[in-house]
Structure 1
Amino acid sequence: MRHQDYPQPGRDGQDAQIRTEVIRAPLVATLPYAATIFLSSFLLFLVQPIIAKQILPWFGGSAGVWTTCLVFFQSVLLAGYAYADWTTRLGSRRQAYVHVALLAASLATLPIIAASGWKPQGNEEPMLRILLLLGATIGLPYFLLSTTTPLLQAWYWRRFESAVPYRLFALSNFASLLALLGFPLFFEPAFDLKQLGSAWS
């Protein structure tokens, strides 16, 4: 964006104000994107230890439990990226309809507290039961959260075609790291898992 008027005597203050507005406008417009991406990435990685710690006593602390949880989260994350790419090709209106419908459906799965009915009875296949439990408890909310960063980056690029959203991607990584470090250092000692699950929801 360029301002075409040349400075004239007596207009220095006005020109300075115009230049300031031109410089600050992109930053102000970027803040909603940045805040939403930061929050979604933070919640995306905070929920992983919350739900994993909820079901850990039910299935034991073996490496298989953690590996199954990791496979689930990574698979859903990849599916979220694929969904973001697919819906971006649908056009803005269709994309909005699909996404709003899924957001409304995800409300039925909240709060993210594993129901006691998922506890193993002793003769089930634990890996399959863990995957089904995670899918029913956190699947859709986690899936939609995983789409937030790629969708907002695509919308950001669509709005500001000359601006590459690399900084938003870096902000997403920072929020993810903050959540993973914050859980054992702050959230887990200060709150129980039920409180964390309700607050996250």
Structure 2
Amino acid sequence: MSSARPEITQEAKGTGRAAALFGVAVFVSAFLLFQIQPLVSKAILPRFGGTPAVWTTCMLFFQVALFGGYLYAHLLTSKVSIRGQVGLHVILIVIAIAMLRVLPEASWKPLEDESPTWQIVMLLGMTVGLPYFLLATTGPLLQRWFHLVLDGQSPYRLYALSNAGSLIALLSYPFLVEPLLELSSQARLWSMGFWCFALLSAGCGWRLWQSGLSTEYQTQKADRSASPIMRDYVLWFLLAMLASVIYLATTNQV
């Protein structure tokens, strides 16, 4: 029996490594995305009296940042050249690392004469705003890059990995992370995780950069799929809203 040609074997190995790189990056980003929400909310709740309104404001900030991340990913992949996408995204990641501060400084205290809602929003924006925003972009952005780099392979396996990372993060925090680690240790480990995410994302960007794909090729790939109709948008909006309403109604009383 004849063995497989060396070039085919090497190509298969390269494809497998690329798929693994994208998969790990998406999993790590989803895990960090859902770990930071309870972590930073727990850190600032006592400073504002621990009322349900504080938790609701935190969730509002994270939901808006999540939507902003999705919008950024859509505009980036549809309006910017392939190498421009990689360059801009890596620059934002570097800025996020330079500004990374998970927990507010101990000297920071809320001002009594200002609205606590805006103080919470500003506090979250100055600490985890940009890192959270970039984590939120990862799912849709890397699925698009995966589809471009590995032509013919479905990116939806990354969606499954993203869901797995999110679920593990949500379940592990109240049962493992919170009871076993101090807030400072949680923040330190999360920061280390964000560094790993940054390296993985840069690696995914490098694979796309090396692919040599043109903007015209990207446009041709995007034109193959049919656009959703208005009914689809309405259904997606209502389903997402229902999940958020149930989540907030439950956690406000727990």
Tell me, yes or no, whether TM beats 0.5.
Answer: yes
1:48-63 equivalence runs, <5 A: 48-63=37-52
Select which of 93, 104, 120 maps to 1:103.
Answer: 93
Q: TM-score, normalised by structure 1?
A: 0.86
1:197 deviates by: 0.8
Residue matched to 1:5: none
Alignment of 1:159 with 2:156, yes or no, is no
1:124 deviates by: 2.0
Alignment of 1:186 with 2:185, yes or no, is no
Change (3 A) 1:18 1:100: closer
How far does the alpha carbon of each residue in 1:106-147 deviate from its partner, in whole angstroms, 9 at most, with x for none? 123223111235421333211110000000010011111111
How far does the alpha carbon of each residue in 1:131-182 deviate from its partner, in whole angstroms, 9 at most, with x for none? 0000001001111111112111111111223222111101101101100111
Change (3 A) 1:19 1:144: closer
Q: Are the equivalent residues in 2 in contact too, given 1:111–1:198 (CA < 8 A)?
A: no
Q: TM-score, normalised by structure 2?
A: 0.69
Residue matched to 1:176: 166
For the residue of structure 2 that corresponds to 1:116, the secondary structure is coil
For the residue of structure 1 that corresponds to 2:50, the secondary structure is coil
1:199 deviates by: 1.6
Residue matched to 2:113: 123
Q: CA RMSD in A?
A: 2.2
Identical pairs, percent: 43
Change (3 A) 1:104 1:26: closer
1:17-56 equivalence runs, <5 A: 26-56=15-45
Whole-Å Cα distance in 1 between the matches of residues 82 and 164 of structure 2?
Answer: 29
Residue matched to 1:3: none
Whole-Å Cα distance in 1 between the matches of residues 93 and 82 of structure 2?
Answer: 16
1:100 deviates by: 1.9
Residue matched to 1:134: 124
What letter corresponds to residue 186 of structure 2 in structure 1?
A: L
1:65 deviates by: 0.7
Change (3 A) 1:26 1:100: closer
Question: How many residue pairs get matched?
Answer: 190
1:71-86 equivalence runs, <5 A: 71-86=60-75
Whole-Å Cα distance in 2 between the matches of residues 176 and 124 of structure 1?
Answer: 35
Query: Structure 1 regions of 5+ residues with no counterpart?
Result: 1-9
What letter corresponds to residue 41 of structure 2 in structure 1?
A: A
For the residue of structure 1 that corresponds to 2:45, the secondary structure is helix
